[in-house]
Amino acid sequence: MFDTVKYNEELEYIFNQFPSYQKVGKVAYKPGIETMTDFDKQLGYPHKKYATIHIAGTNGKGSVSHMLASVLAQTGTRVGLYTSPHLNDFRERIKINGEMVSKEFVFDFILKWKPYMLEKKPSFFEITTAMAFDYFAKQKVDIAVIETGLGGRLDSTNVISPMLSIITNIALDHCEHLGFTLGEIAREKAGIIKAGTPVVIGEALNSTKAVFERVADDKGSLIVYAQSSLFKDILASDYELDLKGEYQTHNIRTVLTSLALLAQNPQFLKIVGEGWSDDNIRLGLRFAARNTSLRGRWEYLSQNPPVICDTGHNANGLKIVFSQLRRQKFKRLFIILGFVADKDLDKIVGILPKVAYYFFTQASISRALDSNVLASRCKGVDLDGLVVPTVAGAIREYKKIYKEGDLLFIGGSTFVVAEAIEFFEKNDNFFAN
């Protein structure tokens, strides 16, 4: 019988010995691919045993990755999917056709490579990337959708040679690592463009277009913009999607443009085989969340009363989320809000809905912004609310004052959303009790 206790101990070991960006933030960031290149070599270059699609971008790369993986799986293809961060289970990062990597594989990988890790000191993300590449090879996937962790040029995933690169969009986020202008950030993301490999750009401004075109020209790569492609007028509402949120309009344009470009590649058509059809594309999009187990994208945690969560966590993403939130029907709007400490609140507090009453909270991680600090900043721009230092506590406080017609939104941080999801999973029919 598998020893779950030992598994948890080994997993905790790599979290503590090799700190993750998810837990501790920028001190865990390790730019450069030298260590990953060596780790990759020790593993025997596993990613060369299957085709890959590489995805970077400030916002949207999670939805785009999962939509693509779902469509490819719908064709009957064996599809690996590597994303980050996870919400509640480390294994969410590494999936094949929606199924998480086994605990046994994670456990065995850590034990086997622990001496190497102690000697070479790879980052947490390098370890998980190596684990994903190795797992996909051992499980004989046909193709893998690989999402960057942070940036592109110096990201540890950037050892692969994909058949397609995708950059969803560029916005100001993680500026201390990637640059303080859109052009600087675009240069980092454009680092995933490979010689002779086509690239799809989901959204671009003039300042970022110039960067992308210069890099693509230097690499001899075809560049296609989703916002000026055949799919530029497509709306999310034109398709049945289980991934909700009006921002999915941008993502679905990127996905459809990418699929159209892939369909021109004979190697890709050989991989998807007879399953490649318009019907399977639509089905893959329709059931993307179900097929890949993606959570936290304009997701209803409760229908009655309505409770919506979303993992949007920077000014660009939250602006779109709050725009949609304002258009919902409600008598009173409540928001449970929490951020990580490295977010630029100056750019965020101005877009927070003033009609809402807030529960200022924080996730139970060291990176979390103190809820009292958040409350002080928000009350400085005349936002009204209450400090509740835990997500679970904030949900319970809302229950005390809820009335028919009220709407609750939970967001600001992936980690706040993760704790909210976990709370509702553990407290079924919470509002009925």
- At 353-382, the pLDDT tens digits run 999 999 999 999 988 999 999 999 999 999
DSSP labels for 60-106? Answer: SHHHHHHHHHHHHHHTT--EEEE----SS-GGGGEEETTEEPPHHHH
The answer to whether residues 359 and 249 belong to one domain is: no
Q: Are 239 and 252 in contact (CB under 8 A)?
A: yes
The answer to whether residues 261 and 135 belong to one domain is: yes
If one counts the domains in the chain, the total is 2
Boundary-marking domain end, from 232, 258, 292: 292
The pLDDT, as a whole number, for residue 173 is: 57
Please tell me whether residue 42 adopts helix, strand or coil conformation: helix
Range of the domain at 205: 4-292
The answer to whether residues 138 and 158 belong to one domain is: yes
- At 322-357, the pLDDT tens digits run 999 999 999 999 999 999 998 889 989 999 999 999
Boundary-marking domain end, from 237, 266, 292: 292
The answer to whether residues 355 and 280 belong to one domain is: no
Q: Are 151 and 56 in contact (CB under 8 A)?
A: yes
Report residue 227 as tokens.
């916002």
Boundary-marking domain end, from 274, 292, 310: 292
The answer to whether residues 193 and 239 belong to one domain is: yes
The answer to whether residues 213 and 346 belong to one domain is: no
pLDDT higher than threshold 70 for residue 178: no
The answer to whether residues 286 and 379 belong to one domain is: no
401: CATH: 3.90.190.20
- At 107-149, the pLDDT tens digits run 999 999 999 999 999 999 999 999 999 999 999 999 999 999 8
Query: Which pLDDT band, with edges at 50, 70 and 90, does 18 fall under?
Result: confident
Report residue 343 as tokens.
């977010």
- How confident is the model over 161-174, as a mean pLDDT? 86
The answer to whether residues 71 and 93 belong to one domain is: yes
58: CATH: 3.40.1190.10
Strand order in the sheet with 94-96: 99-100, 94-96, 79-82, 143-147, 51-56, 164-167, 199-201, 223-225
The pLDDT, as a whole number, for residue 30 is: 60
